[in-house]
């Protein structure tokens, strides 16, 4: 597990020194550095938002809101790079996603059935030719508790290491691992695990 943590401490596909340089440049108002930061993390933030709200437009709004907050904080000197940018970024993102979830819950009653149909059709188009298996998995995720779902989404959609998630959620590393494992088991139970052979991943 030690080697695992060491491996996952490094930000995927990035170099921490380069990131520190980009953040410093962006804080000085360098828009090209800012674009590079958005290029690096924008899609992951979008994926996290999309997983929860299931709507492309809302997910993009959330993504913009997250990066607007980050840009403002950088410009204000409200963030000091200590190798925890991703944890901070996804904390902001998770807060936005939670806000949106609460807002959606408050306005849960749709007024126009046609609008609902449009949204459902739009969602189907947005996800593309999703397999039944992925649809079932998505549905099962919706039945997880909020805390279990957050761990799954931060891990798989956000692409964070367990150490980063532990920092973000302010929980011990071991507790995070246990929670992720428990959430996977719940998903496995809900999926029934029918027709899926071990090691037969759909993403390979």
Partner 1 sequence: MNTHNNGFSGPTGEQSSPDGINDATLLALSRELDALAAADRAGARPGLEARVAAATAHSLRAPAPALRLAGTEHASKSVAWFTPLRVAAGLALAVTVGAVYLARQSPSTGGTVAAVDPASAEQEISEWLAISGGVTGDLATQISRLDAETSSLTDNFLGASSTTDSSTEEGSL
- Find the binding residues for partner 1 in span 113-142 (CB under 8 A): 126-128, 130, 133-134, 137-138, 141
Q: Is 185 in the site for partner 1 (CB under 8 A)?
A: yes
Judged by CB, which is closer to partner 1: 113, or 169?
A: 169
The alpha helices in 76-172, defined as continuous H runs, are 85-106, 113-127, 132-141, 146-152, 162-169
Q: How many CA atoms lie within 13 A of 199 on its CB side?
A: 0
Region 31-90 residues binding partner 1, contact defined as CB under 8 A: 31, 34-35, 38-40, 42-44, 46-47, 50-51, 56, 59-60, 63-64, 67-72, 74-78
C-alpha closest to that of 42 among 28, 59, 25 = 59
Q: Is 23 in the site for partner 1 (CB under 8 A)?
A: no
Using the CB atoms, write b or e for 160-172: b if 16+ within 10 Å: bbbbbbbbbbebe
Judged by CB, which is closer to partner 1: 4, or 120?
A: 4
Using the CB atoms, write b or e for 178-187: b if 16+ within 10 Å: ebbeebeebb
CB of 73 to partner 1, least distance (A): 9
Count interface residues toward partner 1 (CB under 8 A). Answer: 75
Judged by CB, which is closer to partner 1: 80, or 109?
A: 80
Q: Is 188 in the site for partner 1 (CB under 8 A)?
A: yes
């Amino acid at each position: 597990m030690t080697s695992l943590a060491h491996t996952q401490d490094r930000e995927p596909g990035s170099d921490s020194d380069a990131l520190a340089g980009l953040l410093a440049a962006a804080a000085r108002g360098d828009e090209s550095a800012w674009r590079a930061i958005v290029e690096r993390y924008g899609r992951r933030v979008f994926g996290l938002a999309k997983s929860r709200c299931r709507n492309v437009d809302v997910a993009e709004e959330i993504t913009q809101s997250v990066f607007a907050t980050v840009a403002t904080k950088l410009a204000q000197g409200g963030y000091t790079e200590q190798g925890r940018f991703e944890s901070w970024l996804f904390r902001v993102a998770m807060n936005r996603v939670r806000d949106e979830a609460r807002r959606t819950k408050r306005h849960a009653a749709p007024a126009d059935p046609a609008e609902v149909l449009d949204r459902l059709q739009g969602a189907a188009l947005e996800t593309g030719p999703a397999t039944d298996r992925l649809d079932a998995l998505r549905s099962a995720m919706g039945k997880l508790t909020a805390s279990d779902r957050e761990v799954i989404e931060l891990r798989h959609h956000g692409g964070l290491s367990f150490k980063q998630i532990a920092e973000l959620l302010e929980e011990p590393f071991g507790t995070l691992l246990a929670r992720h494992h428990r959430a996977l088991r719940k998903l496995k139970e809900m999926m029934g695990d029918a027709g899926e052979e071990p090691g037969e991943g759909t993403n390979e």
